[in-house]
Amino acid sequence: MAVDETLLQAAIDHHECAVRWYRWSVPTISLGYFQSLAACHADATWTSLPIVRRLSGGGAILHDQELTYSCVLAAEHPFARTPSGLYALIHEVLISALVERGIPVAVRGQTSPELNTAFLCFGRGDAQDVVLAGFKVLGSAQRRRKGAVLQHGSLVLEKSPLTPQFPGVFDLAPPRFDLDEFQIETAAKIAACLDLQWQSAALRPDELMFARSRAAQHVFPGLTG
């Protein structure tokens, strides 16, 4: 999450754009920006886990058997001015890639307001969610800062022992696919659809330093992680 914030700052300071996939080394809860820590502590399931705060809003996500992506656009990029368009574009790319692999996902198409107070993101129902067999398997959220935009989201691969009520794409459509290939392919396609010049790059030393300084502020003090 601190790296996502670093990339957002780079979009502001240097007009850079980025697309990124990542995974979590241990099961971790990320709280939406406006969620309270008390809501997390209300369920003993989560208090033994690392808990971090996302820049974006929405419900909490258990990052376990899943992939997390992020896309950052500088303020002058056309899609930075059309938040709903960015949601649709990225979800279309990911839906296409999954369907090509035999996983018949689709956009939910309608919001379920009665679900939107659920603590966990995957218990909520937004029209732009990606679903499979009635289950939400991909959700995204955004954060805007000085015109630049960060969008990140989570693709559930398999149900976590901690959240067995949320199956993933491998549970619901058993054909498995190569995750590295999927990440490389979809990152390049998202970049192409956004008319970005695509190249692989690591954080610069100054960005790495900024990310490390911000990481301490994303993790709640006194908790695991």
Q: How far apart are CA 131 and CA 139, in angstroms?
A: 9
State residue 42's pLDDT score: 87
Higher-confidence position of 53 and 157: 157
| pLDDT over 90 percentage in the chain | 75
pLDDT over 90 (residue 205): yes
Q: Where do the structural domains in the chain lie, given as residue ranges?
A: 2-196
Question: What was the pLDDT predicted at 18?
Answer: 96
Return mean pLDDT, the chain: 92
The span from the first CA to the last CA of the chain, in angstroms, equals 13
Active site residues: 121
| 66-73 and 148-156 beta bridge pairing | antiparallel
Each residue's pLDDT tens digit, 141-200:
999 999 999 999 999 999 999 999 999 999 999 889 999 999 999 999 999 999 998 888
Mean pLDDT calculated for residue range 104-130: 90
Between CA 199 and CA 86 the distance in angstroms is 20
- Per-residue pLDDT averaged across 83-107, rounded? 96
- Cut 0.85: pTM above it: yes
For domain 2-196, give the CATH number.
3.30.930.10
2-17 residue pLDDT tens: 999 999 999 999 999 9
